[in-house]
Amino acid sequence: MRTQVVIVGAGPAGLLLSHLLGLDGIDSVLVERQTAEYVQARIRAGILEAGTVELLRDAGLGARLDVEGMEHRGIHLQWPEHRHHVDFADLIGRSVTVYGQTEVTKDLMAAREKAGRPAYYSADGVTLHDVTGKPSVTFVDSDGKARRIDADVVVGCDGFHGPSRASIPDPQVWERTYPFAWLGVLADVAPSTDELIYAWHPDGFAMHSMRSPRVSRFYLQVAPDEDIAAWSDDRIWAALSERLGVPGWTLETGPITEKSVLPMRSFVATPMRHGNLYLAGDAAHIVPPTGAKGLNLAVADVALLARALTAAVRGDDRLVDAYSETALRRVWRCTHFSWWMTSMLHRHGDDFDARLQLAQLQRTVTSEAAAKELAENYAGLPL
């Protein structure tokens, strides 16, 4: 088989890139090692930046998003006895939308099937060849048949553990592992808040989010090696009530349907291009989830890359030549913002560090300039 672009990885980044290229008449084939059912069921980020929402709408992917997405004007920042609303819409004229990655993936899969774009799921032994010359990708398909796809370009949207980044010789890597993790909880209970709550507490960070008007998502700061079996439902609700509690507010509880411990780390690998191989999303960078940047950063990568590859097909290589440098400017900005949010809200260090965190929180909610800085980064830089 031959195509113009082979995309390794059929998560939301790979699916969106294939969709955007298709709108410009560029053929692509998706290759994914997991089953389609596994990809669609993955629970990930739930906050879409304003630019991500606009891009999805412009690409014809906004029908269900506009009905089921929950627009939020801002977030709540909290510490004991205090809860303050940071209104992004008032500050910068942009909002965010709660619409889970699972839902985005469903919309993208439906669009792929409607357009008839080819995809191979359950691909085994995916290997990249001659990425600095005439690239190809080989694998064994779900029927056990060996396949080879020749292409002009290979794009790695295959995450941290995929083969794409490993095909770049001697990448430069920056990494930080944080000394805490999140205990993530999904519960069948209506949200007790209108918008997300980010709470600093002496016992550790807590967050109240939501997936729908009937399903809530919660996070608790725990140790990286936390034994999830030690957290009964009663213990989880008690900790959430303590860390999220403020006078006059009650946390509603309900059946807990999912628990998991999520490690916290930052990772950036450069370059994001090697010959005719390009990296996008988690294949090149990972951020802690505190700033809600992971999915949005992947969307920004593929939006930039789709424009660059389209221009290159038409004879203009300037955007593809600048892709890595251009993408990394945004990557490092979002990495810094994610680090800043994480460092401000998670209990670590001694009491001196705690006082610094509280001073930063107070500054953020009392200074218009500081609040705007948070709003601009959280709601998203322009694509």
User: Is 323 marked active-site?
Assistant: no
Which one is catalytic: 72, 76, 274, 285?
72
Which residues, 6+ apart, have CB-to-CB distance to 377 below 8 Å? 291, 333, 334, 337
Amino acid, single-letter form, for residue 301: D
Residue 205 to residue 219: CA distance in whole angstroms: 8
Residue 121 among the catalytic residues:
no
CB hemisphere CA count around 21 (13 angstroms): 27
Copy the structure tokens of residue 147.
Answer: 């396949």
Phi/psi at 102 (5° precision): -60, -40
Q: What is the DSSP string of 149-210?
A: EE-SEEEE---TTSSTGGGSSS-EEEEEEEEEEEEEEEESS--SSSS-EEE--TT--EEEEE
382 catalytic residue (yes or no) = no
Which of 158, 160, 137, 146 shows the shortest CA–CA distance to 29?
137
289 is catalytic: yes
Cis amide bond preceding 271, omega within 30: yes
SS3 label, residue 145: coil
The residue annotated as part of the active site, out of 274, 289, 323, 346, is 289
Write out the DSSP string of 307-318: HHHHHHHTT--H
Q: Catalytic: which of 201, 208, 285, 293?
A: 293
Note if 99 is an active site residue. no
Helix (H/G/I), strand (E/B), else coil: 242? helix
Q: Do residues 336 and 369 touch, judged by C-beta distance below 8 A?
A: no
CA distance 5 to 136: 10
Q: Say which of 198, 219, 278, 323 is annotated catalytic.
A: 198
Q: Which of 277, 268, 267, 322 is nearest to 167 (CA)?
A: 277
Contact 281, 13 (CB under 8 A): yes
Q: What radius of gyration, in Å, describes the C-alpha atoms of the chain?
A: 21
Tokens found for residue 238: 């008690």
Which of the residues are catalytic? Answer: 72, 198, 289, 293, 378
